[in-house]
Amino acid sequence: MYKRFLLITFLLALAICVPPSSGFADDWVQLFNGKDMTDWEHVGPGRFLVENGMLKTEGGMGLLWYTREKFGDAILHVVYKLSHENDNSGVFIRIPEKPTEPWMPVNRGYEVQIYNPADDWHCTAVLYSLTKALARPYKPVGEWNMLDITLDGPHTVVVLNGTKATDYTEGQPVPPKVKKYEPDRGPRPNSGYIGLQNHGEGSEVYFKEVAVKPLH
């Protein structure tokens, strides 16, 4: 009985001393540390500021992109809020190369739009001008919104506040390019850099969380 007690005590002590596995495949990895823009770089007009632990857009059109690695087969989790009804921003995915100016990501990556007033092809949570919104579940100005963007090979799914708004696979038909500022049509890579857009004077969009979790 005493030996059994010692064994149980030893196993309990071992469980306390050895932390549970925190493998990358199981955990969300925060890309923004809430303090500064370590591992991020900005290109183009305007800028991002760190204000009260959040990223804030100012001016533009520019792009703040994450420099350390490309992402594919992962879920990107972004928490943001608007300051005005007409605030404009976006989350860029599948950027094939390190951007040196803000238009290459527009034409060669995808922009997950953040802009509530637009039509169903240009509004929040669509792939800008390429996909039509399945839903428009954005929250009022000043409230936090959650974007979950799943990259699974050629398949992209965007969920906004728990509701699917975009479901697109490479090769599906898209409307023709109409405006010169709309993205060029054509395939995007299965993995790429990500970025956050600052878009014009007066837009103040706050991001408090940018995190990634591999699918596999």
pLDDT for 6-32, tens place per residue?
343 443 343 333 333 333 345 899 999
pLDDT range class, residue 194, cuts 50, 70, 90: very high
The pair of structure tokens assigned to 25 is: 């495949």
Evaluate if residue 1 carries a pLDDT over 80. no
Evaluate if residue 44 carries a pLDDT over 50. yes
Mean pLDDT of 201-211: 96
CATH of domain 24-214: 2.60.120.560
- What pTM, to 2 d.p., does this model score? 0.87
What b/e string do you get for 23-60 counting C-beta neighbours within 10 Å, with b at 16 or more? eeeeeeeebbeeeebeebebbbbbebeeeeebbbbbbb
Q: How many CB atoms lie within 10 A of CB 9?
A: 10
